[in-house]
Amino acid sequence: MDALAAICERIASYSSRTRKIHLLSAYLRPLSDEDLVRAVQFLCCSPVRNQDRRGMAVGYATLRDALASVTGWDADTLRLCFREVGDIGEAASLLLFNRTAGEPLPLALAEELYTELYNARKVVQKLDVLQSCFRRFRPLALKYFVKVITGDLRIGLQSKMVEEAVAEATDTTHEAVRRANNRSGDLAGVALAARRGQLHEIEARLFHPMDFMLAKPLDALSDLTDPENWIVEDKYDGIRAQAHVAGGRVVLYTRGLEDVTGSYPELVRALSGLPGSSVMDGEILAWKNDRALAFTVLQQRLARKRLTPELLEEIPVAFMAYDLLYRDGKLLLDEPIEERWRLLEELLENRALPLLLSPQHSAAHIDDIDRLFEEARGRWNEGLLLKRRGSAYEPGRRSGTWLKIKRPYATLDVVVTAAEQGSGRRATMLSDYTFGVRSGDGFVNVGKAYSGLTDEEIRELTRILRSLATNHFGRVYVVRPQVVLEVAFDGIQRSSRHKSGFALRFPRIVRWRRDKTPEQCDDVERVRELYEASLRQGVTEKQA
């Protein structure tokens, strides 16, 4: 852990992406097989191999209590230190400066300790392990030992860059490593296979989520020159999900690769009846009277803590399947979309609600797509998804063989209230903005966005926002409300997190409105109007 921590510090001190990758690959290359696996695993913030980090159940309170008992600092002092530093691993290393026995922490020992933490049932046992760590090892190693637990190294190293470093250190291509990682979701195992020249042997494993293929937005229909080469489907406004099914067992993963199986018992019942083993890509929708309800309705179901029979009846869900990635031991990613869909149709041959198969259409002309778009909108769907004929399924990619055409939603003019430093190339810039709308004499937050501006604009905004900063908490700067942005979004939902009571879904910055003052921003009433309009859509639906 000592050498890994040292290399992480060097990686943090370079903003150049290639430099970070070179530093990391030079560190990984000479490691033993065992340490290569451990190092890559820790770099992915996975303390215990093939186990969800959260299963360790070591949170802020446990770390704080362990630090309090080792350092003797009172709660107020610790709280202030954590606030100033903004990262608990870094704070731990600073608080333990010159106060530990300074023992080295080999990666193998770190793995043992993580496993011990993972297996400890009681908090006191976890505290014992942490306290002994905080007394024994060097502060720099502990900084990263803790960061792996909290799940963010904060050195501007995205997972794609770890993939690239693994490829460079094992003399393979990034493409090969990426593909293998997409299949197995276990970059540590991939690194070892890459070193041994066995990447081709890595296959998808059931009940390990794969990355989802993503669609590129198509801004204007006229940009599409060859409509006959595309398969057209409705674009649904639900929750994207991957269903893994084998021998009566079912797991549903979302795009965050989170297991959400427990929320949809009716889907589990239906899917468990499917023959053989399969991995499907699709959408979870609130579904009634032969059509999807608005996303806000699905949200209402998710907001409830307990799934009562009444709720399951009031807001039933369906799984709209549209792709098949795996079937009876065979990975289908490289099969053309037509073949995947044929197999999917075959699998769902005897389907009944809540299982649905997304219909596919063809278009000979742009006008057909126009018509299909209107029809999709008539079915209350979001728009269209265009999939290139003959294309493969590319996990984690937005390669342009899938295109999306969405309904245009109103935009809002908002004011930036806080800014956070970015990561990687944008590590020295304030690139993530929390924004609000007018409410009375002040502003209330409605969301946070980090994409849509050019680097030039972000650089300039960074300068301006730094000069507007009134306070900061770690990486977050609170700023005087002055900078106005126009944001687009996919919907509005109720939120207890924001004072406004609302949160924008998928907000993105359309442009920087240098021409507008904060007084000209939209207000919270406008947000409420838009929210209620979207809700009426759902309510009308339920009455129909």
Partner 1 sequence: MRVEFNANGIHLPEIGLWLDPKETRDAAWLSHGHAGHASAPHCTIFGTQETLNLYRIRRSEQENLPHDLRPVEFGQPFEFGKARLTAYPAGHILGAAQLLVEYGGERLLYTGDIKLREPLCGLVTEVVPCDHLIVESTFGLPIYHFLSAAEARDRIIDFAQTCIAEEIMPVFLAYPLGPAQEVVHALCAEGIPTAVHGSITRFFPEYERSGYAFPGWMPYESSAAKGRAIVVASGTRNYLEASGKQARVAYVSGWACLDNARTRAGAEELIPYSDHADFEELMELVERSEAREIDVIHGYTEPFARILQLRGRVARAPSAAAYRDEAEG
The amino acid sitting at 392 is: A
Q: Find the shortest distance in angstroms from Cβ 143 to partner 1.
A: 9
Alpha carbons 160 and 155: distance in angstroms, whole number: 14
Per the annotation, the verdict on 235 as an active-site residue is yes
Residue closer to partner 1, measured from CB, 198 or 428: 428
Q: Find the shortest distance in angstroms from Cβ 507 to partner 1.
A: 22
Q: Dihedral of CA 285/290/296/299: which sign?
A: negative
Gyration radius of the chain over CA positions: 25
Residue closer to partner 1, measured from CB, 462 or 534: 462
Among 166, 139, 110, 133, which Cα is nearest to 6's? 139
Q: What DSSP line would sit under 465-477, residue for residue?
A: HHHHEEEEETTEE
Q: Kindly state the tokens that stand for 526.
A: 């406008």
Q: Find the shortest distance in angstroms from Cβ 14 to partner 1.
A: 6
Alpha carbons 134 and 127: distance in angstroms, whole number: 10
Residue closer to partner 1, measured from CB, 16 or 451: 16
Residue closer to partner 1, measured from CB, 205 or 459: 459
Residue closer to partner 1, measured from CB, 54 or 463: 463
Among the listed residues 20, 126, 147, 235, the single catalytic one is 235
List of residues contacting partner 1 (CB under 8 A): 12-15, 71, 73-74, 76-77, 80-81, 84-87, 90-91, 94-95, 97-98, 154, 421, 427-430, 459, 462-463, 472, 474-475
Q: Find the shortest distance in angstroms from Cβ 69 to partner 1.
A: 15
Q: What DSSP line would sit under 351-419, residue for residue?
A: --TTEEE---EE-SSHHHHHHHHHHHHHTT--EEEEEETTPPP-TT---SSEEEEE-----EEEEEEEE
Alpha carbons 41 and 103: distance in angstroms, whole number: 22
Residue closer to partner 1, measured from CB, 143 or 235: 143
Q: Find the shortest distance in angstroms from Cβ 164 to partner 1.
A: 20
The amino acid sitting at 16 is: S
Residue closer to partner 1, measured from CB, 91 or 492: 91
Residue closer to partner 1, measured from CB, 179 or 448: 448
Among 388, 391, 386, 390, which Cα is nearest to 368's? 386
Instruction: Please count the CA atoms within 13 angstroms of the CA of 517 that sit on its side-chain side.
Output: 1
Q: Find the shortest distance in angstroms from Cβ 86 to partner 1.
A: 5
Q: Find the shortest distance in angstroms from Cβ 27 to partner 1.
A: 18
Instruction: Please count the CA atoms within 13 angstroms of the CA of 187 that sit on its side-chain side.
Output: 22
For residue 315, is it left (φ>0), alpha (ψ between -120 and 50) or beta? Answer: beta
Using alpha carbons, list the distances in angstroms from residue 186 to 51, 182, 492. 10, 8, 35
**Which residues make beta-bridge pairs with 472?**
477
Contact (Cβ atoms closer than 8 angstroms) between residue 169 and residue 25: yes
Q: Find the shortest distance in angstroms from Cβ 461 to partner 1.
A: 13
Sequence-distant (≥ 6) Cβ neighbours of residue 316 within 8 angstroms: 266, 286, 287, 288, 354
In the chain, what is the straight-line distance between the N-terminal and C-terminal CA atoms, in Å?
61
Burial of 263 (0-12, 13-18, 19+ CB in 10 A): middle
Q: Find the shortest distance in angstroms from Cβ 167 to partner 1.
A: 24
Residue closer to partner 1, measured from CB, 412 or 429: 429
Instruction: Please count the CA atoms within 13 angstroms of the CA of 510 that sit on its side-chain side.
Output: 14
Contact (Cβ atoms closer than 8 angstroms) between residue 375 and residue 429: no
The amino acid sitting at 294 is: A
Please identify every residue annotated as catalytic.
235
